[in-house]
Amino acid sequence: MVWEWPQSRQRSARSVKWMQRMRRCFEMNLKPLTSWLEDGGPVVTPELAQARGRICAKCPLNVTGDWWEKISKQPVADVIKKWLEIKNEMKIGVPVEKEVGICRACGCVLRIKIWEPLDYITQHTDPETMSKFVPNCWTKIDK
């Protein structure tokens, strides 16, 4: 016998879709970040991070504004806070970080992503997600 949620407790299609999106966001972000941090968190130069950030700042997929308030009560917020703490402990930062938020294509926190070596990103980004990036995205043109 399989137990099912009472009709009043069943999850809506919208909530199921949201949970799937959150799981995908975790998978897309945790794999490259975990790999990156396990290797000691090598970072790109501040000049390259700034150049990447300038591309992101102008990108239509850059979600800024109140994105933090929208997710602050979600489990992913604790993970993002921890990533930002680690980044701050590394004492890295560039001015353009104030202009970037989250990438709508992959769900990454851009203040962190601009510092990651490209190998860690491309290694863990599936072709479907890569196809969502705009043509001039640095993940496609960075060498």
Is residue 106 domain-resident?
A: yes
**For the chain, what is the domain count?**
1
Task: Please give the DSSP secondary-structure letter assigned to residue 109.
Answer: B
Is residue 8 domain-resident?
A: no
**Tokens read off for 114:** 């601009």
For the question of whether the overall pTM of this predicted structure is more than 0.85, the answer is no
Q: Look up residue 26 and give its amino acid.
A: F
Is residue 19 domain-resident?
A: no
Strands (E), 34-129: 62-63, 102-103
pLDDT band, very low/low/confident/very high, at 94 (cuts 50, 70, 90): very high
> Is residue 26's pLDDT more than 50?
yes
